[in-house]
Amino acid sequence: MQQAERIPFNLADPAPVRHDWQQSEAEALLALPFIDLVHRAQAVHRAHFDPNEIQISSLLSIKTGACAEDCAYCPQSARYDTGLPRQELLSLEEVLEAARRAKAQGAGRFCMGAAWRSPKDRDLERICRMIEGVKALGLETCVTLGMLTETQTRRLKEAGLDYYNHNLDTSEAFYPKIISTRTYQDRLATLERVRAAGLKVCCGGILGMGESDADRAGLLTQLANLPEHPHSVPINLLVQVQGTPLAGTEKLDPLVFVRTVAAARIMMPRSRVRLSAGRREMSDELQALCFLAGANSIFYGERLLTTDNPEAERDRSLFRRLGLRMAGPLAGD
């Protein structure tokens, strides 16, 4: 607690952008009295954003299941029997049809996810056509395809891609308990190639995997100390899927989830902090607390990649009750 009190906090300049966060500072932030923490986060939020505006992204799984990786949370790994039907790479027309529907529902960004360790060059060219087509509809584009080479990041940039999603998922210390088939350093190397190609980075993690406060602080410290803060920071709550090793993990205290959102807002003041997977399990009140703590983006639409998201009508009603507005298409960040 004492350490957090020493973290400079000036209401007149609440949100300095820093890249030199210490793990101990992040831990101290997470341990602040809840009201102090949320107040700080809301002050930071208001210094950079309209607090009543939420950015809206829609997700589509363009290649589903049969993934070679062993991510312990993921229903798409070929190593776990989750009963998920596999689906090869969708056609361009199928993707554009889904993007048109997302736009009609109010999405500003369309995110396409593929269950790959890394894309083959032949597949990447098909993805480039999808990016061009989605952009032509007037949507921002995001893809998440696994690890990339330098040439691949360049091809994606040339195709007009706006964002690349590649999560660190958790702290470096906890990571080996979750994934063994690729390293934390592999992830950092892909993120560096994405940044160097001039793509915007979308990078965050998952909470509720049995990690500790120190792990949550470690994840936020890694994210905030990247050469540039990620433009978008998805904070996912683990969606527990039967058949994955993490099914049955003890549920995270929802207030710890809110605390982590608040600390993310304080440590990455200009980033879009996205309340991502797991909203279906959250009450309206918990989501409202997350928005108060500085979350200002959601995934919208009935489906995430392979699991359910809240019904669009439930979200519209929540937004009405909270007086929140959806940021228009191309509002970006």
* Touching ligand SF4, residues 263-282 (CB under 6 A): none
Can you tell me the distance from the alpha carbon of 220 to that of 271, in angstroms, rounded to the nearest whole number? 12
167 vs 287, beta carbon nearer ligand SF4: 167
Rule CB under 6 A: say whether 306 interacts with ligand DTB.
yes
Residue among 39, 45, 109, 166 that touches ligand SAM (CB under 6 A): 166
Strand partners, 112: 60, 143
3-state secondary structure at position 219: helix
74 vs 201, beta carbon nearer ligand SAM: 74
Annotated catalytic residue 74: yes
Q: Tell me which of ligand SF4, ligand DTB, ligand SAM, none is bound by residue 119, counting a contact when its beta carbon lies within the kind-specific cut-off of 5 to 8 angstroms.
A: none
Annotated catalytic residue 111: yes
* Residue 274, annotated as binding a ligand: yes
Chain-centre distance for alpha carbon 130: 21
Q: How many CB atoms lie within 10 A of CB 85?
A: 7
Catalytic residue from among 71, 128, 203, 290: 71
Residue among 113, 208, 218, 310 that touches ligand DTB (CB under 6 A): 113
Can you tell me the distance from the alpha carbon of 187 to that of 140, in angstroms, rounded to the nearest whole number? 24
Residue among 69, 140, 211, 215 that touches ligand SF4 (CB under 6 A): 69
Catalytic residue from among 40, 109, 111, 155: 111
Q: Are 31 and 4 in contact (CB under 8 A)?
A: yes
3-state secondary structure 115-150: CCCCCCHHHHHHHHHHHHHHHHCCCEEEEECCCCCH
Burial class (CB in 10 A: 0-12, 13-18, 19+), 10: exposed
42 vs 170, beta carbon nearer ligand SAM: 170
Q: How many CB atoms lie within 10 A of CB 318?
A: 17
Mask: binding to ligand DTB, 263-302, rule CB under 6 A, as x and -?
-------------xx-------------------------
Annotated catalytic residue 203: no
Residue type, 27: E
Task: For tokens 């980075």, name the residue.
Answer: 201
Known binding positions for [4Fe-4S] cluster: 67, 71, 74
Known binding positions for [2Fe-2S] cluster: 111, 142, 202, 274
Residues labelled as active-site residues? 67, 71, 74, 111, 142, 202, 274
